[in-house]
Amino acid sequence: MTLKITLAQLNFTVGDLSGNLAMMTNAARKAAADGAAMVVFSELALTGYPPGDLLTEADFLARVEAALAELLAASRATPGLHWVVGAPLTRAGAGKALENGLLVVVDGQVVLRYAKQLLPTYNIFRERRYFEPGQEIAPILTLGDTTIGFMICEDAWNDAGRDYPVNPFTQMAAAAPDFVVTLNASPSDIGKRGQRHALLSAASRRHNLPLLYVNQVGGHDQLVFDGASFAVTPQAGVVFEAARFAEAVVTLTFAGGAFLDAAGQKLASVSVEGLSVMDFYHRQIVLGLRDYARRCGFKRAVVGSSGGIDSALTLALAAESLGAENVTAITLPSRFSSVGSVEDSVALCANLGVRLYTHPIRDLVAAYEQGFADAFGLPLQGLALENLQARARGTVLMEYSNHFGNLLLTTGNKSEISVGYCTLYGDTNGGLGLIGDLYKTEVFALSRHLNEVAGRELIPHAIIDKPPSAELAPNQKDTDSLPPYPALDTILKVLIEGERLSAEEREQVRADYQRLTADEEGKAMVERIRRMIHKNEYKRRQAPPILHLRPLAFGSGRQMPIAAKYE
């Protein structure tokens, strides 16, 4: 019993049916050259994942049908090779008109069709909006003397039976294939790799089924998919893992219940630890920005450089992602800006090789102040004046973006976004937020990490070490309005993510939270932060998309009402 099978971990583009099919065809040719009997693509590979409401458009569905016909024709060019392709499939009868399905195609013929049974509707997933669940079956295909079972993503995530009344593994185990292939579109966060390995390894042991897990890679709007396709056996656990954050077309051999390399030799061992948290953040953001910019047609980016840590980190990540020559920084000093902040921006951009422009806003703000006083008979002051400065900066940045075609990157972090410490139509302007799912303490940690990786000072220590300030009022510090960031971040992690935190982080956060709330002052602080989170949902709803890094991100992840009463 020997079978060669190729994993095609590819960076599909949502809606690019012809481009996606071309990528699959190239991978199939490589699989055929390797002598594989089967090539496996990821969930909804034909359309890219997630296609969203494209699935409700008749023109798009007609293009899907045409692409499926082209796929059948393309398979004839690789005689004997079985293509396992994820695609939306039409169905008849009551309920939704589509299924999240897979086809096994060979020589222009469909030899197996299967529809995903479990359709997730939590966190970022909205599959029941578009698809009807498939029948409770165990799809099996026999190639020579090897039988193969098939699942699609969520089908394999309910073996504990907690989330759905159906467990597809039950029937699959009864069918007893030699191994199971599961097609996936699993977005990554800081704990997802370990979660996948643990869950699939446990299911493999429990049902005595070797498993082959094929995932897509690439950035799609707020989501980033890390690839990291893998193979697992009941005896050895995870025995193979494809590259993370990169495409990979890899041929394995299945023989005697084990996965081997293309030559039939033992595979290299797989690290249990994987990437560090900061390495993960770094690589996820870089891939996410590159793909977002590429898919949206941007080659250049622009960032407002305040001399603070958030804009510094955003600039460093942008320069790495797009090339320093494609990134522009603009410093926009007001009458409250310190000389040091401007000098820090100069030093930062020199370190990064990024062009820096200076556009003072003192006169702009003064003109608005005078206009306000003339129109309304009152001086502009306090919070309104502070926000005006942020909005003047945001307007200039959008002017530059519109005129030169650069993607404006917003620089808010998760701590500030959580409590509304940001200005609508000001520092929230932009097309994408790179660090909006990083708490402030993580912003500092990732900045230090980038310096360590570079082996030199990319982000000046003067920026990392100085107390954070919006510089919208004399001698202003963030701590004038907020608790110290270590305390704030602990509270936010409990209130926003809670049980979704990784086990290790949850234990530390709980201990810190208990210390913070040991007295009435700490409890009052928590209640104040809770109210700030709730009252600023309207700001988050209008903010740019942010790259997801943690288990529960703002935007398509956390969904809360605006006009609601929170007790």
Q: What is the 3-class SS of 232-253, one letter each residue?
A: EECCCEEEEECCECCCEEEEEE
Which neighbouring-strand residues pair with 532? none
Task: Categorise residue 154: left if φ over 0, alpha if ψ from -120 to 50, beta otherwise.
Answer: alpha
The pLDDT of residue 45 is: 98
Phi (first) and psi of residue 473, to 5 degrees: -150, 160
Contact (Cβ atoms closer than 8 angstroms) between residue 254 and residue 147: no
The pLDDT of residue 338 is: 75
* Distance (Å, whole) CA 131 – CA 547: 26
Contact (Cβ atoms closer than 8 angstroms) between residue 497 and residue 506: no
H-assigned helices in 39-144 = 58-75
Q: How distant is the alpha carbon of residue 240 from its chain centre?
A: 23
Looking up tokens 């700001």 gives 539
**pTM reported for the whole predicted model:** 0.95
* Distance (Å, whole) CA 272 – CA 156: 21
3-state secondary structure 205-230: HHHCCCEEEEECEEEECCEEEEECCE
Domains and CATH numbers, the chain: 2-274 (3.60.110.10), 279-478 (3.40.50.620)
What is the chain's pLDDT, residue by residue, as a tens digit (567 residues)? 799 999 999 999 999 999 999 999 999 999 999 999 999 999 999 999 999 999 999 999 999 999 999 999 999 999 999 999 999 999 999 999 999 999 999 999 999 999 999 999 998 999 999 999 999 999 999 999 999 999 999 999 999 888 999 999 999 999 999 999 999 999 999 999 999 999 999 999 999 999 999 999 999 999 999 999 999 999 999 999 999 999 999 999 999 999 999 999 999 999 998 999 999 999 999 999 999 999 999 999 999 999 999 999 999 999 999 999 999 999 999 887 777 778 999 999 999 999 999 999 999 999 999 999 999 999 999 999 989 999 999 999 999 999 999 999 999 999 999 999 999 999 999 999 999 999 999 999 999 999 999 999 999 999 999 877 666 666 667 677 788 999 999 999 999 999 888 888 888 999 999 999 999 999 999 999 999 999 999 999 999 999 999 989 998 888 888 888 876
Looking up tokens 């973006």 gives 401
* Distance (Å, whole) CA 567 – CA 90: 45
DSSP annotation of 555: T
3 state SS of 192: helix
- Give the catalytic positions in this structure: 43, 116, 153
The pLDDT of residue 436 is: 97
3-state secondary structure 356-414: EEECCCHHHHHHHHHHHHHHHCCCCCHHHHHHHHHHHHHHHHHHHHHHHCCEEEECCCH
Return the exposure string of 445-464: e unless at least 16 CB atoms fall within 10 Å of the residue's CB, then b: ebbebbbeeeeeebbbeebb
The pLDDT of residue 567 is: 67
Burial class (CB in 10 A: 0-12, 13-18, 19+), 495: middle
* Distance (Å, whole) CA 38 – CA 122: 32
Looking up tokens 């494809």 gives 242
The pLDDT of residue 251 is: 98
* Distance (Å, whole) CA 366 – CA 420: 26
